[in-house]
Chains A and B, each alone.
Chain A
Amino acid sequence: MSTDNLEEYNGLCVFIEQRDGNPARVSLELLDEGRTLADKLGADVTAILIGENVSGIAQELIYYGADRVIIADDPIAKDYRTEVYTDIIVEQVLKEKPEILLIGATCIGRDLAPRLSARLNTGCTADCTELDIDTEMRLIIAIKPFFGRNLMADIVCPFHRPQMVTVRPGVMELKAQDRGRKGELIYIDINLKEADTKVKVLETVRSTSDAVSLEEADKVVAAGMGVDNQEGFEMLKELADLLGAQIGTTSLPVDAGWISEDKKIGQTGKTIRPRLYIGCGVSGAIQHSAGMINSELIVAINTNPKADIFNFADYGIIGDVSKIVPALIKELKSIKDLT
């Protein structure tokens, strides 16, 4: 049941997720990464942009690395719907025959990608954190951590096309756009009728919080097992506020109910790459570190000198969070008083 005429497949496609005409950051990250991978193969990058009134962002996609942007701009595609988006993408894949299809592992991407893979009868590797290319075999190597152990797996899809991969938001670096890049915009018609769709979107509610999301935070103060009570948490919040940082956490404080699930960093939570990460009582096990290893500057505070985090931190303080954090707060306040 492998794909016929494998050699006919060429080029790399990226699905561009958008909301209200704004591209998802992960889609841009994938264009950037896709550009690098495609260059190794000597192949083109095609962005697939679907929605209503979305054409305005097509040019930006070229600046981020696309050679071509296929634009399906139609009222029927206003809201993401599995069936509509699957139909549109499958038609383009069968026509364009890309060898690789990349999708961000967002809620929408994780709904769409497996549906596409089943329709196209191809393999999809979910939630990867790194990508590489075997140029000789023209295979994308999808690299992902495995739950529960410091294990990584390289996964390939040798005999089916396109090779599909979903990639977690935030794991790829987003470089600046190149406004000198040129590319082609291709508008396609959608031949789907609203009457034929099985799923209707009755209502969409966005949470109104203005706070910067953890993934986009510039600085993060993370709580681990070493912060084992509510007072400890209040103290970390004070430190975070003084630094202008967001609070993140390992899974234990979430399970204990001290902090909400959306602050969790790691394999079952968010992936971050802030300029500054301060781990307070964080041991650095893969479940957490998989989500923060790309932070620019890592500071670790832990009583256990053998904690994993000291293997990859830039600065380490071997000591008790309940003593070090108040000292940091005191120091920060004294500097603020001076200025």
Chain B
Amino acid sequence: MDIVVCIKQVPETNEIGWDPKTGTLIRESTGGILNPNDKNAIEAALQLREKHGGLITAISMGPPQAGDALREALGMGADKAILLSDRQFAGADTLSTSYALSLALKKIVRFDLILCGKESSDGMTAQVGPQLAELLNLPQLTNAMEIIINSNSVRIKQKLEDGFRILKTSFPALITVEREMNQPRIPPMDSIMEAYREKDVLVWGVGNLGGDKERIGLKGSPTQSRKVYTKIVKKGEITLLEGEPDKVARELIQILKNKDLL
């Protein structure tokens, strides 16, 4: 069972910088961490490897420092790591990111499953998984709470708003992993140190991937930010109720009563 896990480095804090010229995120502005949901995808891959054997490759696209997220994946137990990094990838939206990842996956050739986290904590679009599946012409099983492997098929328990479904498909397939699927292991410090000392992160640029240059980076992105701004939410004047708790409680309940809200 060979598995590729797609991961993303996301800003650590809530402070995200913006490039006013292009309207895109400046990721260099803050420290980066491995996207929390992607840890569940890595954990799922590790557990599948324990049962079924095989090789785990972690892949990411981002600036050179995104290599740190891949080192963390190696520290957790992934066998190989590939970073798609090239100035030409900059400014990619989800479709352009998926396109670059699809080229890399075609280069990897051998895999039975692609696992992705449910969504990233910064963009939160949950789009790269399904877009990547489409570009590779693979079935997609999203929002998986559980993965069960049989000899030539895979089943997932898919989370829905009002319950769940059991879906079944054949290999290869792409699965996005819900947070409740597992509790990601915390790699011991020495295994992270080892990931830095003894394991390599392979770096691929646009030249390594081939494909259509027009579909790469900002110019390959159909969506564009036109404007980024702070929203001032003000509905109008507020009425403050003041005094002892019993007094304000009486006033508020009276107001709700008058407005027919009781």
- Please report A residues at the B interface, Cβ cutoff 8 Å: 1-2, 19, 79, 82-83, 86, 106-108, 110-115, 117-119, 121-127, 141, 145-160, 198-207, 219, 243, 267-268, 275-276, 286, 289, 293, 297-299, 310-319, 323-324, 326-328, 330-332, 335
Q: Do A330 and B246 touch (CB < 8 A)?
A: yes
Q: Does B142 contact A (CB under 8 A)?
A: yes
> Given the complex of chains A and B, what is the CA–CA distance between A106 and B41 in angstroms?
22
Q: Do A316 and B241 touch (CB < 8 A)?
A: yes
Contact of B125 among A126, A152, A286 (CB under 8 A): A126
Select from chain A the residue with minimum beta-carbon distance to B143: A107
Provide the B50-79 mask, 1 if CB < 8 A to any CB of A, else 0.
000000000000000000000000000000
Instruction: Report the stretch among B181-189, B200-208, B219-227 that lies at the interface.
Output: B219-227
Q: Do A267 and B124 touch (CB < 8 A)?
A: yes
Q: Do A107 and B161 touch (CB < 8 A)?
A: yes
Q: Report the minimal beta-carbon distance from B61 to chain A, rounded to whole angstroms.
A: 16
**Among residues 1 to 60 in chain B, which have CB atoms less than 8 Å away from a CB atom of chain A?**
11, 13-16, 18, 23
Q: Do B134 and A118 touch (CB < 8 A)?
A: yes
| Contact status of A323 and B140, CB under 8 A, knowing A125-B223, A147-B121 | no
Q: Do B238 and A115 touch (CB < 8 A)?
A: no
Q: What 17 new A-B contacts, CB under 8 Å, besides A153-B228, A243-B261, A335-B253?
A: A107-B161, A111-B140, A114-B129, A118-B98, A146-B16, A153-B227, A157-B223, A205-B163, A206-B163, A268-B124, A297-B259, A298-B235, A311-B233, A314-B239, A324-B249, A327-B245, A331-B250
| Contact status of A107 and B160, CB under 8 A, knowing A123-B93, A201-B166, A318-B240 | yes
* Size category of the binding interface on chain B: 35 or more
Select from chain A the residue with minimum beta-carbon distance to B170: A198
> Given the complex of chains A and B, what is the CA–CA distance between A190 and B93 in angstroms?
33
Q: Do A154 and B139 touch (CB < 8 A)?
A: no
> Given the complex of chains A and B, what is the CA–CA distance between A147 and B246 in angstroms?
39
Chain B residues with Cβ under 8 A from A204's Cβ? 163-166
- Please report B residues at the A interface, Cβ cutoff 8 Å: 11, 13-16, 18, 23, 93-95, 98, 121-135, 139-143, 155, 158-170, 212, 214-215, 220-231, 233-236, 238-242, 245-246, 248-250, 252-253, 255-257, 259, 261-262
Q: Do B238 and A324 touch (CB < 8 A)?
A: no
> Given the complex of chains A and B, what is the CA–CA distance between A316 and B241 in angstroms?
6
Q: Report the minimal beta-carbon distance from B198 to chain A, rounded to whole angstroms.
A: 35
> Given the complex of chains A and B, what is the CA–CA distance between A335 and B139 in angstroms?
59
Q: Do B165 and A331 touch (CB < 8 A)?
A: no
> Given the complex of chains A and B, what is the CA–CA distance between A205 and B161 in angstroms?
11
Q: Report the minimal beta-carbon distance from B21 to chain A, rounded to whole angstroms.
A: 15
Select from chain B the residue with minimum beta-carbon distance to A165: B223
Q: Report the minimal beta-carbon distance from A241 to chain B, rounded to whole angstroms.
A: 13
Contact of B15 among A149, A205, A314 (CB under 8 A): A149
> Given the complex of chains A and B, what is the CA–CA distance between A289 and B170 in angstroms?
43
Chain B residues with Cβ under 8 A from A314's Cβ? 235-236, 238-239
Q: Do A317 and B240 touch (CB < 8 A)?
A: yes
| Contact status of A312 and B122, CB under 8 A, knowing A149-B16, A202-B167, A317-B252 | no
Which 9 pairs, one residue from A and one from B, show the smallest C-beta to C-beta distance?
Answer: A123-B222, A148-B14, A327-B249, A118-B134, A123-B223, A126-B125, A114-B127, A327-B245, A114-B130
Q: Report the minimal beta-carbon distance from A258 to chain B, rounded to whole angstroms.
A: 17
Chain B residues with Cβ under 8 A from A114's Cβ? 94, 125-131, 134
> Given the complex of chains A and B, what is the CA–CA distance between A118 and B23 in angstroms?
23
Select from chain B the residue with minimum beta-carbon distance to A150: B230
> Given the complex of chains A and B, what is the CA–CA distance between A328 and B245 in angstroms?
8
> Given the complex of chains A and B, what is the CA–CA distance between A110 and B220 in angstroms?
22
Q: Report the minimal beta-carbon distance from A40 to chain B, rounded to whole angstroms.
A: 17
Chain B residues with Cβ under 8 A from A198's Cβ? 139, 169-170
> Given the complex of chains A and B, what is the CA–CA distance between A317 and B127 in angstroms?
42
> Given the complex of chains A and B, what is the CA–CA distance between A331 and B247 in angstroms?
10
| Contact status of A119 and B134, CB under 8 A, knowing A107-B159, A145-B231 | yes
Chain B residues with Cβ under 8 A from A158's Cβ? 224
Give me 20 A-to-B residue pairs in the complex whose CB atoms sit less than 8 angstroms apart, sorted by A's number.
A1-B214, A111-B142, A118-B130, A118-B135, A126-B126, A146-B16, A148-B16, A148-B122, A149-B14, A151-B18, A154-B228, A199-B141, A199-B168, A204-B163, A204-B166, A275-B261, A276-B256, A293-B233, A315-B252, A315-B255
Q: Do A324 and B231 touch (CB < 8 A)?
A: no
Q: Do B248 and A203 touch (CB < 8 A)?
A: no
Q: Do B238 and A122 touch (CB < 8 A)?
A: no
Q: Do B165 and A319 touch (CB < 8 A)?
A: no
Select from chain A the residue with minimum beta-carbon distance to B224: A156
Chain A residues with Cβ under 8 A from B95's Cβ? 117-118, 121-124
Q: Do B230 and A151 touch (CB < 8 A)?
A: yes
Q: Report the minimal beta-carbon distance from B14 to chain A, rounded to whole angstroms.
A: 3
Select from chain B the residue with minimum beta-carbon distance to A267: B124
